Structure 1
């Protein structure tokens, strides 16, 4: 009987994305899935490739238009359990740095209607974008979720592949240092 319950739980976790996301989120609460933040006095990294982003109303802009601002960019999808699991921590991070850091949530499926509904249903205060140009170079990743922090000079100073708990104090300290270096 215990084996059957174990197999049933395993099947649910494998084939029901919200259950898998809940399991990953539980791992985040016990300290797993922490983003690796390097301690640098003056972050330096490759310049982010320029891409064109569009919001639901059709307004488009270039990523390079945000030079002079700190950008947190996350590539994600509504069907991705690790993406779903990390979303509450990204939303908390946005609340903490609202008006100081630009948050760009890039829907890799390019279905903004579905993504906007996802954010609204969960009461997340995160703007969803899609790319209208190809993503190549140092922003291209075969892993989702993938998150980047781009400094005021357009340099990638943080990159994390896979789910992460972005309410991590090391990351908030890192962002605060970037803000002070402006």
Structure 2
């Protein structure tokens, strides 16, 4: 009886120990978070690619990163150096500067951590994960899962999580969306070092039509600090201060457009649309480029406006600078009943349009009666109902 009781006790202890050692998404995230947040500095190489099959877009970039951390300051980054084949970006704790090797110019400005979220090499970076992972652990409402994956014969932990109406961002951790979208993440972690190896992200709108992939290699958790003079723009000779281009203000309501003409997109023939061809018509002009998420969202909205108002107004889509072969993809996908023009950058700039999408409405005399930075379908439709 004593032997049976002893065996039962030992079995219970073994089961309890086994339960404590069960690997969970939280335990893997916690270990990686602890590893990253205990670092004083790190260096690594990264490769990222963006695949957007729906909108015929692919891009890739790579570079090397060096970070020094300080948990007491905003963003927890004391300073960094980011290098790719075209430029060097340096933040020394006070100033940020970018050295452009192509045109030998330097951009120098004071920035805070909050103003650096748009830097490409910070997107889904190790440093961003360092901030995000503790937030993932705190929020039990974020669904998480764990499984093994094998890459080139090596086993890794694969943590998956989903963010509702938000995504990872430096330095706040998350940025929120107004639209109903779920961001799906896959974080592949080295089991031996607890360091991230790869980050995938996609979303519930484009699903398998879109994803990004970032791979980290050559990770050094005790790197040698770059030379002290490399942290100051004055140390780099042969670079001139970049001159800010002069931009026209956006054309004002009440202005009259000067005569213009642009090539029509037509796979069968070449032809021009002239401003005189639109005399006596109310015209909605929408300006767009290929690599622009909001421009892509505007396509179905313009199609809806065409179906509702196409007999009362003329809709003209103006691509700024994409190649004709690239516009071909969108023409074949959208099959627009409205006219699609291209080579419109100079024309757009003359109207004070440098960011896309943008839209203007002309009355029958060619006078500007509506302008919008971005494309606001509700605003456009409300305006059209008021004048038709």
Which category describes the TM-score, using the shorter chain as reference length?
A: 0.5 to 0.7
Mapped to 1, the partners of 2:356 and 2:323 lie a distance apart of 16
- Is contact 1:119-1:126 (8 Å) kept? no
Q: CA deviation at 1:137?
A: 7.2
Q: CA deviation at 1:121?
A: 1.7
Q: CA deviation at 1:59?
A: 0.7
Question: Larger relative CO (CA 8 A, sep 6+): 1 or 2?
Answer: 1
* Match runs of 1:149-164 below 5 Å: 149-164=361-376
Mapped to 1, the partners of 2:204 and 2:282 lie a distance apart of 32
- Is contact 1:90-1:166 (8 Å) kept? no
Mapped to 2, the partners of 1:168 and 1:106 lie a distance apart of 17
Match of 2:197 in 1: none
Mapped to 1, the partners of 2:263 and 2:372 lie a distance apart of 23
Match of 2:161 in 1: 5
TM-score using structure 1 length:
0.67
Unaligned runs of 5+ in 1: 23-43, 177-182
- Is contact 1:76-1:146 (8 Å) kept? yes
Kindly indicate which of the two structures has a greater share of residues assigned to strand: 2
Q: How many residues align?
A: 152
Select the residue among 18, 36, 50 that pairs with 2:259: 50
Match of 2:317 in 1: 105
Stretches of 4+ moved more than 6 A in 1? none
Unaligned runs of 5+ in 2: 1-24, 26-134, 137-159, 169-182, 185-199, 207-252
RMSD between superposed Cα atoms in Å: 3.4
SS in 2 for 1:135: helix
Cα separation, partners in 2 of 1:63 and 1:114, compared to 1, 3 Å: same
Higher Cα Rg, which structure: 2
* Match runs of 1:11-90 below 5 Å: 45-56=254-265, 57-90=269-302
Cα separation, partners in 2 of 1:55 and 1:166, compared to 1, 3 Å: farther
- Is contact 1:74-1:145 (8 Å) kept? yes
- Is contact 2:319-2:344 (8 Å) kept? no
Q: CA deviation at 1:165?
A: 2.3
